[in-house]
Structure 1
Amino acid sequence: MTAQSDPNILNDLSSFVQELTTNIEPHLIELRRDIHAHPETGFDVERTAGVVARELESLGIEHQTGVGRTGVVGLIKGGRPGPTLIIRADMDALPIEEQTGLAFASLHTGKMHACGHDLHTATLIGIGKVLKEVLSQSF
Structure 2
Amino acid sequence: MTKNPSSSAVVPGILHHLQESVALRHHIHAHPELAFEEHATSELVAGKLAEWGYEVHRGLGGTGVVGTLKKGSGPRRLGLRADMDALPIHEETKLPYASQHGGTMHACGHDGHTA
Corresponding residue of 1:34: 27
Aligned equivalent of 1:115, options 84, 108, 114: 108
Bigger Rg, structure 1 or 2: 1
Identity %: 47
Query: Is structure 2 residue 62 aligned with structure 1 residue 69?
Result: yes
**AA partner of residue 37 (structure 2):** D
Give 1 or 2: higher helix fraction: 1
**AA partner of residue 72 (structure 1):** V
CA–CA separation in structure 1 for the residues paired with 2:46 and 2:8: 29
The Cα offsets for residues 74-99 of structure 1, whole Å up to 9 and x where unpaired, read as 01123133232221111000000000
**AA partner of residue 51 (structure 1):** L
Count the aligned residue pairs.
115
**AA partner of residue 121 (structure 1):** T
Corresponding residue of 1:96: 89
Q: CA RMSD in A?
A: 1.4
Normalised by the length of structure 2, the TM-score is 0.93
What 5-or-longer segments of structure 1 have no aligned partner?
123-139
CA–CA separation in structure 2 for the residues paired with 1:42 and 1:14: 36
**AA partner of residue 57 (structure 1):** A
CA–CA separation in structure 1 for the residues paired with 2:12 and 2:81: 24
CA–CA separation in structure 2 for the residues paired with 1:86 and 1:38: 26
**AA partner of residue 61 (structure 1):** Y
What 5-or-longer segments of structure 2 have no aligned partner?
none
Corresponding residue of 2:9: 16
